[in-house]
Every structure is written in structure tokens, then in C-alpha cells.
Amino acid sequence: MIGNLSGRVAIVFGAGSGTDGMSNGQAATMTYARAGARVVAVDLSQDAVRRTVESVAEEGGDALAVTADATDSRSVAAAVQAALSSYGRIDVLHNNVGVTTLGGPVDLDYEDWKRAFAINVDTVFLTAKHVLPTMLEQRRGAIVNVSSVAALRDVGYPYPAYMASKAAVNQVTVSLALTHAADGIRANAVAPGFMDTPLVRRQLAGQAESIDELLATRHRASPTGRMGTCWDVANAALFLASDEATYVNGVCLPVDGGLAMRCG
């Protein structure tokens, strides 16, 4: 079975689900659980993470809901300890926490610039900081960070803070991969392109006159003629977390229908 995670424990930061559709974090949590993993679902919102865990339980999976702020070191440490107390190990670390921050240098407040880096980059550092000791002791582990194709090329939106912070995620991933390759730990990233998710609809709604126009524009921008879904991202993450990717390390894998390869 490709992507078999039986006997493994995955911790997903940013696992919560809204009430307006399937999120990337919920899809990742469910995908890991379907592959046989016990999953620790972590989110800032207690209600959001509860919904995700309920969706796993409905399919017969095993998931634990934990509420934590991934930008706070003590909160992350407590979430990791909750995972270890419940399951005794952590084999997969999945970082899905992120925010799209719109605006160029003239328009964007400096506090919003710093907030983008705190949410998109600091969370990757803090989760790795607190999970790596367990993985080092185990002599195995897989880290999957959610980046963006915007870290690789311009995609038409005015968001240098998002582009720069996601590019930083890529390089943190490379550093983790090379630093710990000999320790049995791999680190890779997925870079979603134009995706159709509730978060995208909320955060980019102001970039078009209507949601229908926004979605139509994004569908047309994809080389495939359609946006991807949260399941496309989750399935790519599952591959990177699995033993089938045992020799894949330090990669930023675009999940974008070919968008990153398009010129202009």
C-alpha cells in the first residue's frame, strides 16, 4: 500500500476546519488517518480542531484534538508533550499554519509584515524545535512544511510579505533536511498553486468584484484550466511523509498543475 502509515504518529499544526468547507489542515489530518496513522490535530481554535477530529472519528480513525498557538514556544511545547503523553512518539510533523498578507511596502503596516513571518515562518521553527528531540531519539522522522508556489514565482497578487515568508519556509526546510539527513530525519515542503479552499476565498475575496469572478480567474490561470483541491495537497504530503519517499529530502514539491513552470 502506497503511503502506509500504520503504527506511525503524525502531528498536524493548523489542522482545524471551518464551517464553510474542507480546509487543507482537515484534509491532511484525514489523509494521514486514512493511511493508518494516529494523528494529533493541533489548532488555535478549539471548535475548528474539534470538527476535524470528529471527521476522522466518523471514518473510524484515531485522532487527538489539541488547542495551541503555534507562534508561542510554550504552547507548541505543550502540544508536543500532549502528543507524546497520548501516543509515545511522533513520526510525522506537518506544518500547515499560514496566512496570506496582502499589500506592498507602501500600503502594508510593518506590524502586518512581522505578523506574516511570525505565522508563516516562526511556526515552522518552533514546531521543529520541540519535535526534533523526539525524532532524534527515535532516529527517524519526516517533516512536511506547507509552502506556496508564490515562494517560487510571482502569481499576480500584491503580497511580498507572503512571497518572502514562504520562500523562507523553503530554505528552513532545506536547512532541516541537510542538518538531519544523517539522523534518519527527512524534511520536505509542498508548494500549492491556485487552490480552491475556504481560506483562499476568505483571504482573497477583495481581489475581485465577486467570489465567482475570483474563482473563474484562478481557474483560468492554472495550466490545467482548474484549481487544485485540499486533497491534492494532502496526497502529496502523504507521499513525502511515507516510506515511499525515503530518499526524497530537501525538496519543495509544487502541487500546482504546472504553474511554476509557466513563463508569463
Nearest to 173 by CA among 148, 136, 140: 148
User: What value does the mean pLDDT of the chain take?
Assistant: 92
| 35 class by beta-carbon count within 10 Å (0-12 exposed, 13-18 middle, 19+ buried) | buried
Nearest to 9 by CA among 67, 79, 69: 79
Tens digits of per-residue pLDDT, 5-25? 999 999 999 999 877 778 999
**How confident is the model at residue 170, as a pLDDT?**
98
**How confident is the model at residue 98, as a pLDDT?**
94
Nearest to 41 by CA among 1, 89, 9: 9
Residue 156, helix vs strand vs coil: coil
Phi, psi (deg, nearest 5) at residue 146: -90, 110
Strands, DSSP E only, in the chain? 9-13, 38-43, 63-67, 92-95, 141-146, 185-192, 252-255
**How confident is the model at residue 264, as a pLDDT?**
58
Give me the count of residues in the chain.
Answer: 264
Whether 162 is catalytic is yes
Q: Is the pLDDT of residue 35 over 80?
A: yes
pLDDT classification of 206: cutoffs 50, 70, 90: low
One of 32, 110, 162, 247 is an active-site residue; which one?
162
The model carries a pTM of: 0.92
Contacts of 259 (CB under 8 A, 6+ apart): 149, 153, 155, 193, 194, 221, 222, 223
pLDDT classification of 211: cutoffs 50, 70, 90: confident
Tens digits of per-residue pLDDT, 212-262? 777 777 777 788 888 889 999 999 999 999 999 999 999 999 999 888 887
Contacts of 70 (CB under 8 A, 6+ apart): 13, 14, 42, 44, 76, 95, 97, 119, 123, 126, 127
Contacts of 131 (CB under 8 A, 6+ apart): 11, 80, 90, 93, 141, 143
Higher pLDDT, 18 or 68: 68
> Which domains are assigned to the chain?
9-254 (3.40.50.720)
